[in-house]
Chains A and B, each alone.
Chain A
């Protein structure tokens, strides 16, 4: 009996020794600390990791004192309360400091050791060395950040380059067009035609690249404007019938009679998608026909779902290639590229543009028999405009520009020259200015109807120039049309702020410029104020929406204002909403002051300017009532209407202002 007792004692002591040895030299650190953080025990592993002698730590140092300052605060505010609450804590990362002040990356587990008796509990912490893991994490993180930065830089580079290319391309296209119109022999004509054809191709490639880079960088936003879909399709047909006829291919259009005339959505993107699909269809069809079918899938009171199909009788796509055709720069085969040309970006872009609108591009195809591309899109029905809008198709001879004067402002000699050449051809009187300040000095002496203003100029850019022109308060304010290599959507807000009426993206086709001049020439006949109002309306309609596909509530709300738009734009980030609210409040307060000023002085010009200025803000706030009331005020003043009518409307305006300001204040306070 005694012997076995002895043996068990012996094995106990062996086990104890082993346990102690394990405690001291375990592959993890261990400390025991008290309620106040003071360390009462530390094992060899940890003391050697940290480079301290045990005696320097035990009863001298608290656990948090071994952390960096952030860790100390964290320990007090988060870590310790949590241990007290739940009695343990697992795997929290701390930066510990070695004796030599270098950082030791530690993962800490703590558990409470309940006290025996009435004393305070103690805590045991086990500490793992996670330097390796930390290093990997850091490398992964660095790699991730670098990749993100690289990709961003790449997208920006692409955007910049595409943008830069557009400027000289404008010159090439312009000169090509001019050259084409001079007396040339047959060879020269062919050269000019090739030059034009190639530069147009280059332009479409650059535009596609720019689009793609914007889509990739998620910078492309959807517009949300009212447009006539019949007009859009018929124009497309007119353009492509010529190309189709050249190849002896018939282009057919089948439109569902049920399609609403005016719908609200993004006409530019729809046009781009259809252009790509029809262009492709013509490209890959040698004989037969191309059929564009638009049918109504679902029609409700305010909403319509349209199905678009573009079917051809072309070469078709082998089944195994059906997926690949949507990839960038991939056509079904190398031969395709050689034989048919093209950038191979069109389908990729179309697909992405559809995805942006929550739709998909479908394809079905049979080799040698043809392909059908189809997609569906939802649109809101625009009930307000039921009359068919007229397409500007009049010819140039119908308009006499004799009493019209254009001021062209551009720092680029070539571009200035080209625009001047066009104007010469059309017999439109013009003056040129090579800088903003030059333009301003011209305007102080001379009257012009319309200003074509380049946005990118050194020293004083187009925006500044426009602002200064507006500040001149000319008796008859000229129309300002900005033209630049920037695409329209990006600059809309800035344009309105600078008092610019319209925008013509470079490079432009001569016909586009002519149409624009013609439009404003015609508008000139109508009264200045009316004209402004009309412009204002266009500006309002073409305001951009944050990426959203949901049709929005009708603008004729009975509320004074609403934060719905901001809320959508804020994308659930209250801080953004607050920012919007704050800046709107400031703006509306300013507008209110200006409004009172304008009324006091019976100043319609000031009021009109205010209406123009406040467009954006009031639009976002959905303060249609106020906008309408202010317009009414302006009309009443202009018409010299009875004072009582005006004062009622003014009062209503003031009331609206106050309601909105109060409401915004409330929203800001919350």
Chain B
């Protein structure tokens, strides 16, 4: 049973706590990556906040053995993990920063236990990736099916491809040694299941239940979460602010960390 009782939650989720402040900012990575994707963003907040970084079970340096397909068959399980982390660390007044699918995971957690959270920062959120009647998700059902099929049939695996090439990089001293084998190096099975859970989810109804002030950070050109989706989120969530970034792509925290950090700072100051 030991694997199922996180006797050491910190280790299971590879939790890292930084910063000089007291109010916690919990940074939750999105699909495909791990907490390292925040390394250009969180330094902007270290002075004022307590920075909490973690890897979801199955990602990065988390305890992979705690992963099971049955357990992580919905975003809710991930949301429960977020709550477990917050409870374990006794966090209160949490500013949750979620990228990509983590934005929805964070919202689900905030609906379940509103008392823990204070503000939600959603980077490239999407409640539903598939186009529905009167809703633009960005993908038609066929594309997602094709993606999932590709994931199923790709014998060599997406992520396996990545594994051997990641190595030390002397040009970039900021990349520590810990990166060498973990970043983006997900177990192909887990990547597959997570993709399924992510891209087939439809949490549009949940958006209406969100009560905390939210910042929706939307990139200008994002294949995964198009502008329409960001607008949908912002218009459905009661207490939300939409900010369209100049940055393009799906990862402004990597491609435009400064712009991303500034937008978050602005929001936190105006909503302080």
Contact = CB atoms under 8 A, between A and B. Distances in A.
A-B complex is real: yes
Interface of A: 35-37, 64, 68-70, 72-74, 76-78, 80-82, 84-93, 95, 137, 141, 562-563, 567, 572-575, 577-579, 582, 666-667, 670
A85 B36 CA distance: 9
A76 B255 contact: no
6 contacts: A70-B147, A74-B158, A76-B251, A77-B31, A81-B254, A574-B67
A35 B254 CA distance: 10
Interface residues of B, number: 54
Contacts of B199: 73
Give the interface SS of chain B, mostly helix, strand, loop or mixed. loop
8 tightest A-B CB contacts, nearest first: A77-B32, A670-B4, A36-B248, A70-B150, A575-B68, A574-B68, A76-B250, A84-B254
Given A77-B224, A81-B37, A574-B67, A86 B172 contact: yes
Given A563-B1, A577-B68, A667-B4, A81 B251 contact: yes
B89 interface: no
Contacts of A74: 32, 158
B156 interface: yes
Given A84-B254, A575-B71, A577-B4, 17 more contacts: A69-B144, A69-B147, A70-B146, A74-B158, A77-B33, A80-B249, A81-B37, A84-B255, A87-B171, A93-B156, A93-B161, A141-B155, A574-B65, A575-B69, A578-B70, A579-B70, A670-B66
B251 A667 contact: no
Interface stretch (B162-170, B235-243, B263-271): B162-170
B165 A91 contact: yes
Contacts of A92: 161-162, 165
Contacts of A89: 165
A64 B251 CA distance: 14
A384 B100 CA distance: 61
A573 B71 CA distance: 12
A70 B161 CA distance: 14
B217 to A, nearest CB: 15
B135 interface: no
A670 B6 contact: yes
Interface in B129-163: 139, 143-144, 146-147, 150-151, 154-156, 158-159, 161-162
Contacts of B4: 574, 577, 666-667, 670
Contacts of A73: 147, 195, 199, 223-224
Contacts of B69: 575
B184 interface: yes
Interface in B17-51: 30-33, 36-37
B78 interface: no
A88 B250 CA distance: 19
B181 interface: no
Contacts of A70: 146-147, 150-151, 154, 158
Contacts of B223: 64, 72-73, 76
Nearest to B167: A86
Nearest to B6: A670
B3 interface: yes
Interface in B186-228: 195, 199, 221-224
Contact of A578 (B68, B144, B165, B249): B68
A92 B251 CA distance: 19
Nearest to B256: A35
B32 A86 contact: no
Contact of A80 (B3, B31, B159, B255): B255
Contacts of B68: 573-575, 577-578
A582 B37 CA distance: 35
A563 B5 CA distance: 13
A90 B254 contact: no
A81 B33 contact: yes
Given A37-B248, A578-B68, A670 B171 contact: no
Contacts of A579: 70
Given A78-B162, A78-B184, A69 B172 contact: no
